[in-house]
Amino acid sequence: MTHEVGSFLEGGSFRYAQSHQNDPLGCSTAMEVIRLMRSEKLVERSKVVGAKFMEELRRLAKKHDQIKEVRGRGLMIALEFDKNFPPSIDTLNSQLLNRGFVVGMSSPASLLRFLPPFTIGEQDIIQLIENLDQILL
């Protein structure tokens, strides 16, 4: 670029940051992820594993009155709690984290959000359910 253009850009409020969204490496990586998702049938698998996860959470909801609703699709699942339940949703989330489970949460909505990877194993889901059950007792 010319000195004049460079000086203008340096002296003004214009900012530029490269996100690498258009480079060959990013494109190649995205294509490989899509190929693996198709060959491993990960979307189809998420429907099956998600249904099992929802079934286990619904079973847990029948046991614990503080669980208000289980909802979701595939492996995108939310567990809504009564807003007045003990412990608070923040405490529940902290206790799960202390036990090695990273889950999303919304304090105002009083819910936990589960967004596991497509590759989550059924044993991981069972361990989460067991720990959640212990915490809610």
Strands of 76-81's sheet in order across: 67-73, 76-81, 111-114, 104-106
**Helix (H) or strand (E) segment spanning residue 79:** strand 76-81
Question: pTM for the full model?
Answer: 0.74
29 and 82 belong to one structural domain:
no
Q: How far apart are CA 72 and CA 107, in angstroms?
A: 18
28 and 78 belong to one structural domain:
no
Q: How far apart are CA 111 and CA 135, in angstroms?
A: 15
Amino acid at 137: L
Q: Which domain holds residue 28?
A: 3-39
Q: How many domains does the chain have?
A: 2
Tens-of-pLDDT digits for all 137 residues of the chain? 788 877 777 777 766 666 666 678 878 888 999 999 999 999 999 999 999 999 999 999 999 999 999 999 999 999 999 988 777 899 999 999 999 999 999 999 999 999 999 999 999 999 999 999 999 98
Contact between 136 and 66 (Cβ < 8 Å): yes
